[in-house]
Structure 1
Amino acid sequence: MTKDNLSSNLNRRQFLTGAATTAAAAVLLPTSMSFAAIPSTKKMVFIHLRGGLDNLALFPAMGDENYQTQRGNLALPSYKDSGAPIRLNKLFGLHPMAEAFLPFWAREEMVFIPASGLPIADGSHFSAQEVFESGYSQLGGDGSGWMGRALQAMGAIQEDTIHFGKQVPMLLQIAGGGNDVVQHIMEAPFEGYGRRLTVVHNHDTLLSPALSQAAAHVEKQRRKLPEDDQTYAKSADSVFGLEKAAREAGKVLTRTDGHNIAVLEASGWDTHEDQGSRTGKLARRLAALSGAIEGLAVEMAEDWNNTVVVIASEFGRSVKPNEDRGTDNGYATSTIVIGGPIKGGRALGTWPGLAEEQLTSTGALKSTVDMRAIFKAVLRDHLGMPLQAINNAVFPRSNEVAPIEGLFK
């Protein structure tokens, strides 16, 4: 065995050993996460919010004259009232429960694109998530995902690509069998699995303490949740899972074994009922999301200066509340880009407006920026991928979608 091969094998062993705590957390915490290594000094974290992020809750368009009327009982109070959002600029505020985002905005490390969308707008989770993950402009791709193709094109080391979760997401698949190139550690498949796993590994000096610690953390967090979230699994998962997963991801990315790409998923954003406004289910999710980024940045320490985080959802929600005090599936939503290299403190793209005639036929926010333009900019300007390769391999037949400019310093 050559010295280089020995070094590579040791790195992989160090990663898998060091990931034991992460694996334990992934088994017990339902947030899905994956890691990969590419030959680069740059780091990237991609967070998929499954279900549809209500961007008018996270970034209320307080400066739009139609905001209060259109949002009805979901509207946040005006700036002069108690419980008001935090003012970001003349048009947008920030939900008060997402205040952990504010330092990134103040340091000009955060950009959001408030009317970003996919090439498809039929309001179906199935369709939107397929297009979101595949990177194609329509349904019927080859089963691969744009992130998987990007990693392959950038020379990701197959043996160092690992996924913790129920199944490898399409986002990370490559044509011809994505599961064959991703080490897959199965998530808890049935009730009580974590408890039984702890018993089986009771004498394992590495796994046993990690599993016990993770289980104790889960139970502690569960007890803090309101009753409605304790009985509504998806809501509970997204509340306590993402922040823990983000911190675990930060620990992995700051080790010296070469892993510099992380993909996280959080469900529970499909807020059809009892969404809440200043408080409630969605407010707790927003607090968890912003807290997750805060925790990630803390774990990254100096590496934060070289890290970019992309937060995206397959679509947004309806502008008006429905009869169940929630929102229905919509279209455009906010895509958020945060990190040390970001030229932040700004909202990018054209705001389409909230007047009735400015909405889609289903009452959703119109899209003015193709999400692929944002993803392309991160791949080109941060990870150094040639635009030709992005247009040909990652997002095929998308030459008309140019990378969005102005994201980076």
Structure 2
Amino acid sequence: MSMHLSRRTFLGCSAAFGIIPGALAAPPGDRRLVVVVLRGGMDGLHAVPPLGDPDYASARGGLALDPGGGAIRLDSTFALHPALAPLQPLWQDRELAVVHAVASPYRERSHFDGQDVLESGGIRPHALNDGWLNRAVAAKGNPSALAVGQAVPLLLRGAAKVASWAPSPLPGLPQSRVAALRALYDGDPLLAMAFEEGMQMEAFADSALTAEPEMAGNKRKGASAFPALAGAAGSLMAAAEGPRLMVMELGGWDTHSGQLGRMSQPLGQLAEGINALARALGPAWKTTLVVAVSEFGRTVAENGTGGSDHGTGGAMILAGGAVAGAKVFADWPGLARARLHQGRDLRPTLDGRAVFKTILRDHLGVPSKALDGTIFPDSAGVRPVEGLVRG
């Protein structure tokens, strides 16, 4: 297969020498982790509604789902939104779980600050300059890690070397232009390294994606849709030399208006994307854990425009063969007004760092000392959630 270097790939590599794909060497072990950052503040009460809560219908008003409207019952309290129905087989196979009434330590309602705390693993905005997953990469001896997107999110930024990849609709450069660029940068160690590693990443992606029809040729122009991107990411991860840790992003959750109509689209994209990952990973799905998490939840009550506003407690969705599934993990606080955070939000009863610690400890084998120290500073009192990862 001929080398294919897109302009995006080369410029991305040459702009950020620390995030180029030299880390994509043969990794130790077969366990895989995918973190999907749901940007915008997903309404966990909409994605996983507590239909069995006696205050649910009155508290949510026009945002309440009809119990007979296609929601998939998980237990006596919780259900899945109908748009998440494609995930029901995973629940039945015990490969899907939900963590509810969960939040980061952040208690304000800014997207930017909330995402900073979520991704840095700190207790306040802008206290840390790197991401908890990057620090976990360093603690595990630098297993291969990949950001799927045009930029590396804070979650994966830091001292440990990671890679980045996104499909480009632009045509590859002809071999003569590639040779000219190689000669041009040959005298500069940094640019030469960026160029060569960019070439290696592109060649690896071309090889790994030969079975992904949506990534072939001009079809890459439409491959930014989350399910197609997830399928491609799964193929990269399934390769023997592929990454073992991965971060993806999905937006569309900031539903200040028309929420009933708007939420189905991103929820459906998430469900289809998780299934695309499972298909592409094949046998490796059995040792994979996917966690989808947002910076905060949303208000319990409907606002004046048929939507919800920035809130606090929310929900995480976990999938994969490594998940001890068919469970909703929740110390449910209830939706009675007196039980709400500041009289308006779902009250969080679990620190999200407890979930991340569980995943890193029980799935990836990160030592507890590192979890309580360098990875999540000032978190010794945050204990992992037992029974979340399949033994």
What TM-score bracket applies, with the shorter chain setting the length?
Answer: 0.7 to 0.9
How do 1:101-120 and structure 2 match up within 5 A?
101-120=87-106
CA RMSD, 1 decimal: 3.1
Give CA deviations for 1:172-221 in whole Å, capped at 9, x if unaligned: 1115xx7xx34456888xxxxx4xx33866999988x8441212x45xxx
Q: Residue type matched to 1:212 in 2?
A: N
Task: Quote the Cα distance in structure 2 between the aligned partners of 1:405 and 1:47.
Answer: 22
Question: Contact 2:145–2:246 at 8 Å: present in 1 too?
Answer: no
Task: Provide structure 2 residue ranges, at least 5 long, that are not aligned to the other structure.
Answer: 13-18, 179-201, 207-214
Q: What residue number does 1:273 align with? A: 257
Match of 1:251 in 2: 235
- How far the C-alpha of 1:39 sits from its partner, in A, is 2.6
Match of 2:156 among 152, 172, 182: 172
1:288: which partner in 2? 269
SS of residue paired to 1:317: coil
Q: 1:55 aligns with which of 44, 50, 73?
A: 44
TM-score of the pair, normalised by structure 1: 0.77
Which of 360, 364, 382 is the equivalent residue of 2:363?
A: 382
1:96 aligns with 2:82: yes
**Counterpart of 1:396 in 2: which secondary structure?**
coil
Would you say the 8 A contact 1:39–1:154 is kept in 2? no
Distance 1:78 1:245, change over 3 A: same
Question: Which whole-Å CA distance do the structure 2 matches of 1:17 and 1:408 have between them?
Answer: 40
Inter-partner Cα distance in structure 1 for 2:232 and 2:9: 9
> Does the 8 Å contact 2:4/2:173 carry over to 1?
no
2:40 partner amino acid: G
Q: Which residue of 1 aligns with 2:385?
A: 404
> Deviation at 1:153?
1.4
Q: What pairs with 1:139-218 in structure 2 (closer than 5 Å)?
A: 139-156=125-142, 161-174=145-158, 181-184=161-164, 194=169, 197-198=170-171, 210-215=216-221, 217=222
Is the Cα contact below 8 Å between 2:148 and 2:233 reproduced in 1? no
- Give the equivalent residue in structure 2 for 1:225: none
**Preserved contact between residue 50 and residue 78 of structure 2 (Cα < 8 Å):** yes
CA distance in 2, matches of 1:42, 1:111: 18
Opposite residue 93 of structure 1, the aligned amino acid is A
Aligned partner of 1:136 among 116, 122, 129: 122
Unaligned runs of 5+ in 1: 1-13, 27-32, 189-193, 219-239
Partner of 1:86: 72
Q: Is the 8 A contact 1:51 1:125 kept in 2?
A: yes
Distance across 2 between alignment mates of 1:113 and 1:99: 18
Give the structure-2-normalised TM-score: 0.80
Alpha-carbon separation, structure 2, partners of 1:155 and 1:23: 26
Match of 1:77 in 2: 66
- Partner AA of 1:275 in structure 2: Q
- The Cα offsets for residues 201-245 of structure 1, whole Å up to 9 and x where unpaired, read as 6999988x8441212x45xxxxxxxxxxxxxxxxxxxxx721111
Q: Deviations over 1:372-403 (max 9, x none)?
A: 00000000001011111111111012110011
1:319 matched to which residue of 2? 300
Deviation at 1:253, TM superposition (A): 0.8
CA deviation string 1:11-42 (max 9, x = no partner)? xxx9x96998x979x9xxxxxx9986553321
1:199 and 1:388 map into 2 onto residues whose CA distance is: 46
Contact map agreement 1:330 1:362 (CA 8 A) in 2: no
Partner of 2:183: none
SS of the aligned residue for 1:46 comes to strand
Between the aligned partners of 1:109 and 1:288, the Cα distance in structure 2 is: 18
Secondary structure in structure 2 of the residue aligned to 1:336: strand
Cα 1:163–1:285 shift into 2, 3 Å: closer
Residues in 2 aligned to 1:405 and 1:314: alpha-carbon distance in whole angstroms? 23
Counterpart Cα distance in 2 of 1:356 and 1:385:
40
Q: Assess, with a 3 A threshold, how the Cα gap between structure 1 residues 17 and 365 changes in structure 2: closer, same or farther.
A: farther
2:72 touches 2:80 (CA, 8 Å); kept in 1? Answer: yes
Displacement, 1:123? 1.1
Look up the SS of the partner of 2:129 in the other structure. coil
- Compute the displacement of 1:109 (Å): 1.3
Which residue, out of 53, 61, 84, partners 1:64? Answer: 53
Residue 226 of structure 2 aligns with an amino acid whose one-letter code is L
Q: How far apart, in 2, do the equivalents of 1:77 and 1:101 lie?
A: 20
Deviates more, 1:302-311 or 1:164-173: 164-173
Q: 1:34·1:164 contact (CA, 8 Å) conserved in 2?
A: no
Alpha-carbon separation, structure 1, partners of 2:300 and 2:254: 14
Asked whether the 8 Å contact 1:316–1:332 carries over to 2, the reply is: yes
